[in-house]
Amino acid sequence: MNDELSDRLKKLGVHLGANHLKSPTQPVGLPNLINPKFEFQNRFGHSIAVDQNYDRDYIHGLKAYFNDSLPKKQIILSEKANLLFKDCVFIDTETTGLSQSTGTFAFMVGVGVIKQGRFFLRQYFLRNPGEEQAMLLDLASFIEPYEVLVSYNGIGFDIPILSNRYKLYRLPHPLKQKTHIDLLKYARKLWRFQYNDRSLKSIETNVLKFNRGDEEIPGWMVPDMYREYIKTGNIQPMNGVFYHNAIDIVSLGVLLDVVNEIYSASQDFSLEFNTINFALALSHQKDNNPDEAIRRYKEALNQTNLSTDIRIKTLENIGFLHKNNSAYDKALPYWAEAATLGSEKAMMELAKYFEHHSKDYQKAINYVEELILLMDNKENRIRKKILLPELEHRKQRLYKKILKEKEMKDAQLIYRAPGMLAAQSIQILLESFHIQSQVIQESAGIAYGFTAGGLGSANIYVSKEDEVEAIKVIELMESGALKIEDDISTDQEFDDIEFEDDDPLKSDD
């Protein structure tokens, strides 16, 4: 950047880099709440961190989670095999802003690991922004031995911010090769239908049964509090920020254990979370694991505390999973039950099945009419405007199929015309003798009617009652005694036609 532009920016109050930021005016010690602390040094200078241990008797919510067996417990949430809790590092950041711009940096990074049955927590803290490179280098060294990063929205926020800072300083990136378990993703999957708010604090309260103390500082206040600390040097108000970050990290360790237990199906969580089986089934369905999805859906149906809305969705989805395997016989009972509960999707699927598969047009009409009645009672005008015309069209099509089925019930194939035009001409000829017929065209050797008639041909059908008379007309046409183009009155009866006598022995007398 040239000197002129730099001077202009300074006049506007814009300062580049972090060197202009002053260290705290008073080197007030870190709060007793978070002691012991230590100061470390590397090639980039000094920085500090605070360490804490949460022992086996520490209770987070309803129970003590940290014990000797936890480090060796297998994690089933990752596709990578043989991962254990001791392979995880839990991470959360407190930043100077909520954007991911290059000006945003983490002034506090909390990392936790499980070892020897205890939860060890380290919180890196920048006394001033000039210590950032030293902190990042030591953080990389801390994270390096662990295979798995565990976060809450880390994929969308914490990791991109840290990655940007490592790139900015051209430091080795310690986060690239790690397996990442973002517990926000699992919270959304498991409790999407249970709780509207799936923030970590909400999950702590509702799932872990943990309530934060009075020291808690809301996350949205954290950037302003750090700016105030940089300005005044008074670290005492930062007590709440350290507490906020520490609880975030410990909750990640506990939540991973809970989510892992839910996915392992080691116990029934449906009494506590009535939508959990449905949520798990939906997750397996989206992951293309239909057998496990159906198993979980059936477990949901066995619950007595399942809401009607979730029961309907469960029945619908089991039906769709069976439909995907063309197992309509298995799908129908679930759709039928869902339809009795008012499911539009189930009614439509049943209407489609009875129209296109079993050819029971009357049953199809019954479901379409039920849907029309349901739509009439809906308040959503846009939905009614779109769906009602489609349903009416489907109903009329079904009525036509019923009429056609009745007319053709005893139909007899009397002629295969070389094409549709020829067949239609013969149909007109037959109608002149008051013989009703129907033409069904064949395509690519596939019959779209009763009997295959060959590529490009068209089959002519008449009722059994008219079969003999129609065959006579066809025979006369083929013999040349009756031509299609002959102008035959529609009132003319078959028996009234005078034919030429082909007997050569008969005299003119």
| CATH number of the domain enclosing 473 | 3.30.70.1530
Weakly modelled stretches of the chain, pLDDT under 50? 1-2, 5-6, 8-31, 33-34, 443-455, 486-509
Predicted TM-score (pTM) of this structure: 0.71
The burial class, CB within 10 Å (0-12 / 13-18 / 19+), for 334 is buried
Q: In what order do the strands lie in the sheet with 37-42?
A: 37-42, 45-54, 118-125, 106-115, 88-95, 148-151, 179-182
HSE, side-chain direction, 13 A CA sphere, residue 151: 21
Q: How many CB atoms sit inside 10 A of residue 316's CB?
A: 23
CATH code at position 389: 1.25.40.10
DSSP annotation string for 250-262: HHHHHHHHHHHHH
Domain count, the chain: 3
Q: Do 400 and 432 belong to one domain?
A: no
Structure tokens given for 317: 């989805």
Q: In which residue are the tokens 């993703």 written?
A: 185
Please return the burial class of 287, using the count of CB atoms within 10 Å of its CB with bins 0-12, 13-18 and 19+. exposed
Same domain, 402 and 415: no
Residue 297 lies in a domain: no
CA distance readout (Å), 445 to 82, 152, 370, 417, 457: 57, 60, 38, 14, 9
CB atoms within 10 A of CB 163: 15
Beta bridge partners of 41: 46
Within-domain flag for 489: no
Alpha carbons 172 and 149: distance in angstroms, whole number: 17
The pLDDT of residue 7: 53
Residue 402 host element (H or E): helix 381-407
For residues 354 and 367, give the distance between their C-alpha atoms in angstroms, rounded to a whole number: 9
Measured torsion, CA atoms of residues 264, 266, 268, 272, in degrees rounded to the nearest 10:
-70
Judgement on whether residues 163 and 61 belong to the same structural domain of the protein:
yes
| Contact yes or no for 354/365 (Cβ under 8 A) | no
Which structure tokens are listed for 86?
């001791």
Question: Are both 182 and 255 inside the same structural domain?
Answer: yes
Last residue of some domain: 268, 295, 321? 268
Asked whether residue 53 falls in the same domain as residue 153, the answer is yes
Amino acid at 470: A
* Residue 90 and residue 132 share a domain: yes
pLDDT score at 413: 80
CATH number, domain of 132, equals: 3.30.420.10
Angle at 26 between CA 22 and CA 29, to 5 degrees: 115
| 275 assigned to some structural domain | no
Run of H or E including 310: helix 308-324
User: Is the same domain home to 438 and 395?
Assistant: no
Residue 354 lies in a domain: yes
Is residue 108 within 8 Å of residue 125, measured between CB atoms?
A: yes
Neighbours of 415 (CB within 10 A): 24
Strand, helix or coil for residue 266: coil
Q: Specify if 350 maps to a domain.
A: yes
Q: Print the domain residue range for 369.
A: 305-407
Asked if the structure places residue 221 within a domain, the reply is yes
Phi, psi torsion values for 42, nearest 5 degrees:
-145, -165
Q: Quick one: how far is CA 264 from the chain centroid?
A: 21
